[in-house]
Every structure is written in structure tokens, then in C-alpha cells.
Homo-oligomer: A and B are copies of this chain.
Amino acid sequence: MKKFINHVDSLLDESLRGFAKAHADLVEVNPEPCFIKRKQPGNAGKVAVISGGGSGHEPLHSGYVGRGMLDAACPGQIFTSPGPDQMLAAAQAVENGGGVLFIVKNYAGDVMNFEMAAEMLECPVETVLVQDDISLPKEHDIGRRGVAGTLMVEKIVGAAAEEGADLAALKALGDRVAERTATFGVALSGCNVPALGGPTFTLPADKVELGVGIHGEHGRELMDFSSATEIVKRMGEAIEDELPLSKGQPVLLHVNGLGATTLMELYLVYELAYDFWKQHGLDIRRSLVGNYTTALDMAGCSISLTLLEDELTRLWDAPVHTPGLRWGC
């Protein structure tokens, strides 16, 4: 497998060193245990907002460390949970008198390790669990996966934390955004994992995986490849079955590329999704189109909808200054 790497074992480390140099004005990387923290800490008493998870989804989460979003992020090896020592060290480094909020995508290893870190910390800790991937049934035995909707939780909670909201308020806000967000992904190909030396799965030339996860987990069904319009319709219908949608509902529409899909296609998907939701009477107030939560080099995309209300829209618009998301400053 041809990739710009030297050795599988040093990939994350070498990549993070480049990341730290390229964004030396915004972030610092602590090598051991490994975490990324923002260079300019928030005000005293600010709640420390921390996320993390396996690598391979960049810019999530490392790219969202900075003012108005995360105080720290803990990267695991590719598609592998970071350890509790990383989360503990990150929390100790950025806790600033306001306690710690963990934002955790719902994967068994991540959940367990963040729980262990929470138990070891001596300051107040709350956790927001993100389970926005609606491709699995709600009653799935390990719950639903956290995918591209994690960005909306991190952005909105991060903005409120910057404004001085306390830990209980941030926990409630994070839960509210997570509940109001649904994502559905589609793969046109698997992704190549360096440690495997090849793809996670292979799709037949005429098939599309509906409901794929960001590690290449199987979704609901293999669908015959037809047209972008048909695929987007199926994605929209799946989301429609989940969220309490009513005419005039303001929403944020996020089309996320999984890695190898061109921006031309992502904007085309956005156009079709926009039409789909307009026909359902939704008020598309905010948009985000691009590669924000990737699955290495997978060809595919996801559509996320977050139900907005004035306060959530205001927090979405609030200034953010991170390597991967920046506006208002």
C-alpha cells in the first residue's frame, strides 16, 4: 500500500509533529502521554472541554483544538482508542478551575477509557456521549456510533464554554445538541488502513454501502449504485424517520466528505440534500460542506442535520479559531 508514511508505528507521531509545527500559533502537542492542547488557555474558571478518539478522522479531533472549541484532544493510533493516561494527562494540563467536560463518541474503548480517566480525576467531570449515527437501530446493543455530528457538539459546547457557561450547563447543552443531531453515511469504497496494508472492506463495482460508519463498519444494506439523487433521497429518508421535523424548523445542514470524495461531489450532494429538505419545509439556516470527519481515504460522504434554535445558532456563529474550523477571529 502506497502512502506517505515511513513506518506504521511512527506515522501518528511524525504526523503530529508536523501538525504542531504547522499550527504552532494555536496548539501544542505533548508527546508522552500524547495529547494536543490549545496554546492560549481560556479564562480562569473556564470549563475544560476535551475530546479524543482513534486517529484517521482528521481534522477531527486534533484540528478542533483552539479558542471557541476544544481545550485538548487525545489521539489514539489509527482507529484505536486513546488510553486513559492520555485523557488524564490532558485534563490535568488544561483544567482551569471550572471542571472538565469530556465529549466522547460512542465506541466501547473510548467510553471505557474516558470513564476510567473521569474516575481518576479529582475535579468535577461530566461526559457528553455522541451517538448521532442513525443507521443502526436505537436499541442496538452497544448503542449508536458517534460520527460527523460530533463536530456540532464540539463547536456549540466549545463556544458556550468560552463564554463562561458552567459544567452543568455545558453538560445539558451538549446532550441537547447531541439529541438534536442525526447523521447518515454512505460509502462508495472502503478505506486503506496502514496497519492492515489494505482496505477494511471491498464493495462490488455496482454497490454502495448505506449507513456506513467512519471506520468502514457495515451499515443497513448494500444498495445498487444508481444516481446521486437516489442515494441522497435514501439518506434523507433515513434521517427523516429519526428527527422530529416540522415545517419551518431551522436546521444546520452538514455534508461531510469521508476522505477521497471531491468537493465538486460534496457540493452536488449538498444541492440535492438542500432540495430534499426544502421540499420537507425545513429552514436551512446554516451549512457546512467539506472534509471534517473523515475515514482515512474512504470514498463517501455523510449528511447531518442539527435542529437549531436561536441560542444554538448564536453559539454556532460564535468565533472559533482552530486549525480545522475558523471564523469570527
Spell out A's residues near B (CB within 8 Å). Answer: 2-6, 11-12, 14-19, 21-23, 55-56, 58-59, 63, 78, 188-189, 205-206, 208, 225, 227-229, 231, 259-272, 274, 284, 287-289, 291, 294, 296-297, 299, 301, 326-327
Measured between alpha carbons, how far is A58 from B270 in the docked complex, in Å? 15
Measured between alpha carbons, how far is A288 from B264 in the docked complex, in Å? 22
Partner of A261, one of B63, B188, B297: B297
Contacts of A284 in B (CB 8 A): 21
Q: Chain A binding site: helix, strand, loop or mixed by DSSP?
A: mixed
In the complex, the count of this chain's copies comes to 2
The reply to whether A263 and B58 form a contact with Cβ atoms under 8 Å apart is yes
- Decide yes or no: A262 and B208 within 8 Å by CB, A15-B271, A271-B21 being known contacts: no
Q: Which residue on B lies nearest to A23, using beta carbons?
A: B287
The reply to whether A4 and B268 form a contact with Cβ atoms under 8 Å apart is yes
Q: Which residue on B lies nearest to A263, using beta carbons?
A: B58
The reply to whether B268 and A2 form a contact with Cβ atoms under 8 Å apart is no
Contacts of A270 in B (CB 8 A): 18-19, 21-22
Q: List 27 A-B contacts (CB under 8 A).
A: A2-B188, A2-B189, A2-B208, A3-B262, A4-B228, A4-B231, A4-B266, A4-B269, A14-B271, A15-B264, A15-B267, A15-B271, A16-B267, A18-B267, A18-B268, A18-B272, A18-B274, A19-B267, A21-B270, A21-B271, A78-B264, A259-B260, A260-B260, A260-B299, A262-B294, A263-B294, A297-B299
The reply to whether A265 and B21 form a contact with Cβ atoms under 8 Å apart is no
Contacts of A21 in B (CB 8 A): 270-271, 274, 284, 287
Q: Which residue on B lies nearest to A1, using beta carbons?
A: B205
Measured between alpha carbons, how far is A58 from B266 in the docked complex, in Å? 11
Measured between alpha carbons, how far is A274 from B78 in the docked complex, in Å? 24
Q: How far is the CB of A33 from chain B (nearest CB, A)?
A: 19
With A15-B264, A58-B267, A262-B294 already in contact, 17 other A-B pairs whose C-beta atoms are closer than 8 Å:
A2-B189, A2-B208, A2-B225, A3-B188, A4-B188, A4-B231, A6-B268, A14-B271, A15-B267, A18-B268, A18-B269, A18-B270, A18-B272, A22-B289, A58-B262, A260-B260, A264-B296
Partner of A228, one of B5, B59, B188: B5
Measured between alpha carbons, how far is A229 from B12 in the docked complex, in Å? 15
The 10 residue pairs across chains A and B that have the minimum distance between CB atoms: A18-B271, A18-B267, A260-B260, A58-B263, A4-B265, A18-B270, A15-B268, A22-B287, A2-B188, A4-B228
Contacts of A261 in B (CB 8 A): 4, 297
Measured between alpha carbons, how far is A59 from B206 in the docked complex, in Å? 29
Q: Which residue on B lies nearest to A60, using beta carbons?
A: B263
Q: How far is the CB of A269 from chain B (nearest CB, A)?
A: 5
Contacts of A4 in B (CB 8 A): 188, 228, 231, 261, 265-266, 268-269, 301
Measured between alpha carbons, how far is A266 from B263 in the docked complex, in Å? 18
Measured between alpha carbons, how far is A58 from B263 in the docked complex, in Å? 6
